Structure formats: structure tokens, C-alpha cells
Structure 1
Amino acid sequence: MYEILRLISEFGPIIVLAGTFFEGEVFAIIGGFLAYRGTYPFQMMIALAFVGSFIGDFAVFLFARYSSNHRWVARWRSRKKFAKALQLVERYQAFFVIVNRYIYGLRMPGLIALGLSRISIARFAILNLIGAALWAGIFTSVGYVFGYSIGSVFARLEVMERGLGITLAVIAVALTLWFAWRQWGPALISRVRNGRGPDDDQRRLPSKLARIKSRSQPLRGPGSEE
């Protein structure tokens, strides 16, 4: 688990920038957590989250604007969430650009709807700038404020990971013993109750064969006397 933290600390700026470009809140919070630990400056993490969010949303908007017939855009347009996002764009165009990031499940269909709407590129860019700045500041601050709690969660996860490994090992040993007992246990108990070991049958086999031969009658030939 600490190896994961080390990798996040080492590649923190790249992770925050790429993560906020493609996804969002989680990576901005990670940036705030790294700032809390003193790995990177707080202002740097806010700036990276802002740039990633602004460029990511602007790229989707432009793609929908100039590639409206693309299959990827058409696939989003066929979903129910797109119709809901389009209604919000028509009613609250400027406000929706700013708050679209905060509405779960509507970020992508909302950007597609904005790209297909009549809003100008300049107007969207300005509103997107404001929205990205507010968004980056809020979620990076959340990661910074709750940095101690996040660290405690990682520590608890490591303890849980070790406990899970021990539990799985115990279960594996128990299952092995159980299958072995199912396979050979009854035969072993039977031998113990009869007072003989596993090699007794082999030692007694010659005497049994001798008794069988002594009891058997010799075969009579065609000319034997009656």
C-alpha cells in the first residue's frame, strides 16, 4: 500500500493533470492530499487541476461542435442523460457551464449538449474558465483538509491487506487438511480400530495364500481312480 503512495508521490503532477483531464474529482483530491503531505506546493496542485479540467472540458466541447456526426458523439446523443442535459442547457445555459462538473453522470452528455447548442465558443471558454477555477480550488482544498483522514485510510487498508493474506492462508491450509481427511481419514480410522497398521495386510498375505492352497482339492485327471 505504501508502494502505491510512493508512486502517487513520485508522479503526482502527471497523475493530477491527466486525471482531471479525463475524469475529475478524485484526482483533484489526490492533489490536495499530496500538498498536505508537503510533497508538492498547494498552489501547484490547484493549477494542475484547473488546467486539466479546463482543457478536458474545452476539448470535448470543440469535438462535439466540429464533429457532430461522429459515432462517439452520436452514441452519447442516443442516451437518456443527453436529453436531460440538453433541457438544462436550453434553460440555464451559462449557469450549466459552471455547475456541469458537479452533477454526477452529466459531465460528458452536458459537454456534448453544449457543443451542439448555440452558445459561442468565446462565451463557453470564459464560463468554463470560471467553472474550472472554482472546481479546482474546491476539490483540491477538500483533499488538503482531509489529508490526515486519507492517510489513515491508506494505513488501515494496509492492515486489512495483511489480515486478508493471513486469513486466506489459513483457509487454504484448512481446506487442504479437510480434503485429505475426506480422502484418507475413514480408511485410517478403520485400520486403527481393527488394531492393525497399513502394512499388516501385506505381511499376512503369504499365510492367507498358504491356507487357501491347503484347503483346495487337487484336480482329477481323466484316468484317476474313484
Structure 2
Amino acid sequence: MHGWEYWVGHYGYLAIAIGTLLEGETVLVLAGLAISQGQLLYLKVILLSVICSFIGDQFWFWLGRRYGDRLIYAWPRLQPRVERMQRLISRYHAPLIIVNRFLYGLRALGPALFGTTPLPLWVFVFFNLVGAVFWSMVVVGVGMGLHEFWSRFAATLPLALVAVLCLIAVVLWWRRGRRQRAA
């Protein structure tokens, strides 16, 4: 049986490529942990995640541009919501394209919806690239920060446990004394 280091070393970059084509947050947080442990290279992870997440969102944008109207009109109940989102996109397209990456579960739906609007392709490409860079750096940074947090937390866990137990004992002692005085 192989350990974490074997799997990360052999399949880490492949997992990042596949994961960031789809959603990718979990994969990138784990990549940040692996970077902190020296198992993956920061620059490679960032470049790979930027490229693959960019390509994935461009694909969904293209699907929205090509087939989006047919899908929207296939479900008339969704039309008012979609039209409202399209108005928001036409007004706030830049921040929405960038922020969409951080909306877990909407990563594919957002670019497809952007594709149904008259938004020029070059505008989506530019802000999609900006968003891919920002998203990759933030999510990998969270993973690296979690490693740092866990390292410090694990080192202080015994002290924290003693402090919590003492606090519980003091609260119980105080409540007991209060009940006795009330009786």
C-alpha cells in the first residue's frame, strides 16, 4: 500500500489538471497542503491550475454560446431568472466573471450563462484569465495556510485542551455554588 507522498508525487499534477477543469477547490486546497510539505512546486501548481481552469470555463462559455438559448427556452419556468441574471451580467460582467469561480457548484453554470449573453468573447477571455489567476492563488494559499495553522494547532493542542478543561471545571464550580446559594 502506498502512502500520501507516493500518490501526490505520481498523480498530483494530473489530479490538479483534471480537478481544475471541473470545479477544483478541494484539489487546489490539497495541492496547497502538498506544496507546504515540499511535495509539489508552487509555480507548477499555479500555472497548471490557471491553464486548466481557464480552458474549462472557456469550454462552458462556448457551450452556453452554442446551445444555451435552446436549453433556456426548453424550460420556460427558468426564463425570468435567466433574463434577470443576463441583465446583471450585462451590467456587472467583469466582477461576476471573476467571482463566479468562487461560487462552489456554479463553476460550469456561470460561464455557460455568460455565453448566452451578447458579451464579447474577448471580454470573457480577459476576465476569465484574471479570475483564473486570482482564484488559483487564493485557493492554493488557503491550502498552504491550513498546513501552517494545523502545524501550530497540533503543537498547542495539549495546552488548549488543558485550558478548555479548566474553563469547564470553573464554570461547573461556579454554577454549583450559585445553585447552593439559591437553595
What is the TM-score when the length of structure 2 is the normalising length? 0.69
User: Deviations for 1:169-212, whole angstroms, at most 9, x for unmatched residues?
Assistant: xxxxxxxxxxxxxxxxxxxxxxxxxxxxxxxxxxxxxxxxxxxx
Aligned to 2:13: 13
Aligned to 2:48: 48
Letter in 2 for 1:67: Y
Higher RCO, Cα 8 Å, sep 6+: 2
Return the alpha-carbon distance in structure 1 between the equivalents of residues 124 and 138 of structure 2: 21
Aligned to 1:120: 120
Q: Relative to 1, partners in 2 of residues 1:7 and 1:131: Cα closer, same or farther, differing over 3 Å?
A: same
Return the alpha-carbon distance in structure 1 between the equivalents of residues 28 and 102 of structure 2: 13
Aligned to 2:107: 107
Letter in 2 for 1:59: F
Alpha-carbon deviation of 1:45?
0.9
User: Deviations for 1:95-142, whole angstroms, at most 9, x for unmatched residues?
Assistant: 211111112443332212100101111111011111100111111111
Letter in 2 for 1:136: S
Return the alpha-carbon distance in structure 1 between the equivalents of residues 34 and 14 of structure 2: 12
Percent identity between the two aligned chains: 28
Letter in 1 for 2:62: L
Letter in 1 for 2:42: F
User: Deviations for 1:40-80, whole angstroms, at most 9, x for unmatched residues?
Assistant: 211111111111211111110012112336669967x9499
For the 8 Å contact 1:9–1:34, the answer to whether it is kept is no
Alpha-carbon deviation of 1:151?
8.0
Alpha-carbon deviation of 1:81?
7.0
Q: Relative to 1, partners in 2 of residues 1:117 and 1:6: Cα closer, same or farther, differing over 3 Å?
A: same
Return the alpha-carbon distance in structure 2 between the equivalents of residues 51 and 139 of structure 1: 15
Q: How many aligned residue pairs are there?
A: 152
Bigger-Rg structure (1/2): 1
For the 8 Å contact 2:65–2:116, the answer to whether it is kept is yes
Structure 2: tracts of 5 or more residues without a match: 153-183
Aligned to 1:136: 136
Alpha-carbon deviation of 1:85?
3.8
1:126-165 to structure 2, matched below 5 A, reads: 126-148=126-148
What is the TM-score when the length of structure 1 is the normalising length? 0.57
More helix by share: 2
Structure 1: tracts of 5 or more residues without a match: 153-226
Q: Relative to 1, partners in 2 of residues 1:70 and 1:13: Cα closer, same or farther, differing over 3 Å?
A: farther
Alpha-carbon deviation of 1:20?
0.8
Supply the RMSD in Å over aligned alpha carbons: 3.2
SS class of match (2:144): helix
Aligned to 1:176: none
